[in-house]
Amino acid sequence: MQSGSKYGLGRTRALLDIFGCPDKKLKIVHIAGSNGKGSIAAYMTYILIASGHRVGTFTSPQVFSYNEKFLYNGKPAPEVTDYYLSEAYSAALGMEDRPTAFEIETAAALAAFCAAGCEYAVWECGLGGKDDATNAVLSKEVAIISSVSLEHTAVLGDTVEQICGHKAGIIKNCPVVISGLQCAEGRKFLSRYTDKFAGDGLKILSHTDDGQFFSYKGSEYFIHLHGDAQCYNAATAADAAKILGIGDCVISAGLVLTKLQGRCQKIKRGDVTYILDGAHNPAAFAPLLDVLARTDGKKSLVFGCLSDKDAHKAASILGPVFDEIFIFSPDSYRAMDLKSIQSAFGGYPVRVCDGATSALSMCTGKTIAVCGSFTILPEALEWIEKRQ
């Protein structure tokens, strides 16, 4: 088994064939994009649950626990998944071209979903789309492209158009829904696949502490997730659900059911509000900025990121918003070193910390945002939960 990244569909396809082609027995909703994939996957999952279907959901990366990557009707079932992970790993050991860990997970997820009697698989790309392991499936019901921006440029290309080309690779013999949250370059490239972008014409009606209301195509919806972009993610899922024959009332019920950790997740402790947000590229900070713009009082930032992220751009976006900034290098082999993060925030007064725990203990803001990487959220959540 390879622990790093290799691209191509052959190894995953071989594993799926060994398992008897479980992808042929599932209706697959495939999602690619730079930002919003996980949120759209959650919306699609709960819309399908609300419509009475049994659903398997495969997403990455995990935020708080490994098992959350493999969900059955919105909940982990490790007793099922672990068996198929073991079986896929054993099969991989016998292959001359050894599959990666992600390819093993991909095949195991489909095999487990099929064995559990799922009708649908909500299927999030790991990286890119065209050559991603998840694209080894033979058929799908609908392809969804979320917002596309510069990311993983060493692999996907250094322009939005090149990255869009990878994402659009999941559109194979199926209808497509494309989020309207595209930059001009992305919209121009992706317009070759559709002239209707999900969310166009959407109107945000109001915000509450528990979520927000929006109207779209003559219907009004409520979602619990915060940030204006989440309304567009929900509209994207709604359009895809309509392709699957699901009506407005069920869509509305599914959207209300949807909750997702680590995406502008608010936690109140006394008079302090903590916001846990896994945003890790410049475009992804938009929902957090929306929430902060509606927040009064002193604001604190706790920030750490991985080495392949644009820390300078992140600093230019986040720096002006916060009254105090605490930085650290995440506990990951992929972490950006502390000197580089400090250099990125060079124009702002920052305090250097050795982790999320020490950073949080020094914050004095009434709103404290923890962001920059999903990898820093578990430690932050553990610290916050101890303050109950």
What confidence score (pLDDT) does residue 336 get? 95
Give the mean pLDDT of 78-104: 93
pLDDT bucket at 388, cuts 50 / 70 / 90: low
Domains of the chain: 10-257 (3.40.1190.10), 265-385 (3.90.190.20)
> Higher-confidence residue: 18 or 2?
18
Residue 151 has pLDDT above 80, yes or no: no
For 218-238, how does the pLDDT look when each residue is reduced to its tens digit (9 = 90+)? 999 999 999 999 999 999 999
What confidence score (pLDDT) does residue 236 get? 98
For 253-312, how does the pLDDT look when each residue is reduced to its tens digit (9 = 90+)? 999 999 999 999 999 999 999 999 998 888 889 889 999 999 999 999 999 999 989 999
- 208 vs 351: CA distance, rounded Å: 33
What confidence score (pLDDT) does residue 255 get? 98
pTM, two decimal places: 0.92
Share of the chain above pLDDT 70, in %: 97
Give the mean pLDDT of 168-197: 95
What confidence score (pLDDT) does residue 155 get? 63
What confidence score (pLDDT) does residue 157 get? 62
Q: Which pairing describes strands 265-269 and 272-277: parallel, antiparallel, or unpaired? A: antiparallel
Q: Do residues 229 and 35 touch, judged by C-beta distance below 8 A?
A: yes
> Higher-confidence residue: 158 or 202?
202
> Higher-confidence residue: 1 or 276?
276
What confidence score (pLDDT) does residue 1 get? 45
What confidence score (pLDDT) does residue 341 get? 96
- 216 vs 234: CA distance, rounded Å: 10
What rounded mean pLDDT belongs to the chain? 93
